[in-house]
Structure 1
């Protein structure tokens, strides 16, 4: 079933895009881009550079003192992981990053996985934080937005409990191990072990923990600003606080394991969520620009992909031989 997962996700993405673009005239979409504000377009797309830089700097801060990882190496890791995340299922590019960190001798194998788990946890919690912040201040909440606000707040609470309480984390993972099939239960066991090591390692230095958490929140604030800049580039009038509430919901929709790299679900979410502020054609254009947020770093990681692939092949061979 695993080998069919990626073709199925691509097929679902294509199907959703076909439905979206069956309702949009190509000449109208072209006109949106031709009439865009070029300065804001350059600024918004150019934000992938500082975003990559801050993400790389955070990776350096996550490494233990004396690990020897420089800024150049961290940038290569982040960019190559972005490339692999576009083609591998379930964000396996980040798991490959953990193997690569171990392969270069920066950390032990289990600790490198723990680092990646902590990094992704910080990302998710930061995204949920800004989503909750925006939704709380969102002025026109109906039943849907009240439900989303409650759900996001519950997600933030759950994430903080998992991160801060070892007892709650063990209870949570243990519960899921009991109610899931054996194959999935084993994955939860591995995640639980990595989570325990992550908690033990990162809670030793609370000042460093606060620095990494603050950096993650700032990075995701820049992500939200970038999407708002996209709306300015498309000459759409959307207050920043509105965008701060809506854009994280679209990103969360793109994280659902239904489509290829979120393409399709994220696009439709943007069109539906912003329908009170601009038409579907502009929403589709915004969806394309949001896809570029992932595509540009992936292109930037191509020169470093050979090293990454060699690491992956080594790990797969070791697993087969074992």
Structure 2
């Protein structure tokens, strides 16, 4: 285990200790014991259609002549979910790109470009729903207005990076100049992959529109799943409010501080949902949100050996 991963686990554990020291475990257990079993099964079961839609999107991203089957796309998505849980720096997604290069004869630069575009679409779709939710959120204070401005700015920059080759090139060049040498090299590699991505995806506007709409729909399902978790716990928050609060909590979990967002995401859920339900219910919601990452990883365990071998090959060639 590298030092960065160890520190992230320590921070996650420390935050969880602080959270659960303020919550009676008997109350937390009672919440799960008294949950609505029907909606719990439905909400947890949404992992399956979410995985299928994400796999179908990956299949559409690959050039048709490369013949990535739907089953193979599912294997890649589930396998990368496992690696992202156990390896640092989202190595599962990198291994997925390498796997496509090895098995589907996709060039290294194109496979990396596909993974980058896939992740960019996910992030921008999340930001889009977050901005929408924040704009219609009824009880905005100064903090919420500040977050609305910051996240809207991030969404605009992200759209410009995807839509403007000149803006993206300037952005990565400036970032590489002010970044440390080790990071600057990665940014230059990213700039080249980004150029490949622009060339590949903007040549087919119909495909670009399909992927964009699919990504927005996938993230609507993600946010719907979190709201159904709330219903399953026999709590309530308006769906419109949840469109603002759950993306904010997910974004908190994306901060590179903790292991798989555990701790920061839980704390954000407790903070943002406090107008609607108590800490114990929010902590239960945090556990269910963690299951959204854990369940696909468990389902993907049969593919772990194959994906680990791919990750090992990638490390040996880089």
Q: Same fold (TM over 0.5)?
A: yes
Contact 2:80 2:93 in 1 (8 A): yes
Structure-2 residue corresponding to 1:153: 152
CA distance in 2, matches of 1:12, 1:316: 27
Which ranges in structure 2 are unaligned for 5 or more consecutive residues?
A: none
Greater Cα offset, 87-96 or 265-274? 87-96
Q: Retained in 1: the 8 A contact 2:53–2:218?
A: yes
Match of 1:274 in 2: 273
SS of the residue 1:89 aligns to: coil
Aligned-pair CA distance for 1:3? 2.4
Q: 1:177·1:188 contact (CA, 8 Å) conserved in 2? A: yes
Offset of residue 172 of structure 1: 0.6
Question: Which residue pairs with 1:251 in the alignment?
Answer: 250
- Structure 2 contact 95–314 (Cα < 8 Å) conserved: no
CA distance in 1, matches of 2:169, 2:314: 28
Contact 2:172 2:187 in 1 (8 A): yes
Q: How far, CA to CA, are the matches of 1:310 and 1:257 in structure 2?
A: 26
Residue 45 (structure 1) shift:
0.1
Instruction: Please say if residues 68 and 106 of structure 1, whose CA atoms lie closer than 8 Å, have aligned partners that are also in contact.
Output: no
Which 4+ residue blocks in structure 1 deviate beyond 6 angstroms? none
CA contact (8 A) 2:236 2:276 kept: yes
Separation in structure 1 between the aligned mates of residue 105 and residue 222 of structure 2, nearest angstrom: 29
SS of corresponding position for 1:90: coil
Mapping for residues 127-142 of structure 1, pairs under 5 Å = 127-142=126-141
**Whole-angstrom distance in 1 between the partners of 2:312 and 2:183:** 24
Which whole-Å CA distance do the structure 1 matches of 2:275 and 2:153 have between them? 27
Aligned pair 1:216/2:237, yes or no?
no
Q: Which residue number corresponds to residue 293 of structure 2?
A: 294
Distance in 2 of aligned mates of 1:194 and 1:177: 14
Distance 1:148 1:124 in 2: 16
Q: What secondary structure sits across from 2:64 in the alignment? A: coil
Aligned position for 2:230: 231
Q: If the length of structure 2 is used for normalisation, what is the TM-score?
A: 0.99
306-315 vs 201-210, greater mean Cα deviation: 306-315
Equivalent-residue separation in structure 2 for 1:317 and 1:177 (angstroms): 25
Structure 1 CA distance, aligned partners of 2:132 and 2:90?
A: 26
Q: How many residues align?
A: 318
Q: Is the CA contact 1:138–1:241 (under 8 Å) kept in the aligned structure 2?
A: yes
In structure 2, what is the Cα distance between the partners aligned to 1:84 and 1:33?
Answer: 29
What is the rounded CA distance, in whole Å, between the counterparts of 1:94 and 1:151 in structure 2? 27
Counterpart for residue 196 of structure 1: 195
Taking the TM superposition and a 5 Å limit, the aligned residue runs for 1:73-112 are 73-112=72-111
1:100, 1:311 within 8 Å by CA — same for their partners in 2?
Answer: yes
Other-structure match for 2:262: 263
Deviation at 1:152, TM superposition (A): 1.1
Q: Tell me how far 1:106 sits from its aligned partner.
A: 3.6
CA distance in 2, matches of 1:127, 1:279: 26
Measured in 2, the distance between the counterparts of 1:198 and 1:258 equals 29
- Contact 2:82–2:298 (Cα < 8 Å) also in 1: yes
When normalised by structure 1's length, the TM-score is 0.97
Q: Are the equivalent residues in 2 in contact too, given 1:69–1:106 (CA < 8 A)? A: no
1:37-83 per-residue CA deviation (whole Å, 9 max, x = no partner) reads 10000000000000000000000000112211111000000000000
The match for 2:114 is 115
Residue of structure 2 in register with 1:19 after alignment: 18
- The answer as to whether partners of 1:84 and 1:93 remain within 8 angstroms in 2 is yes
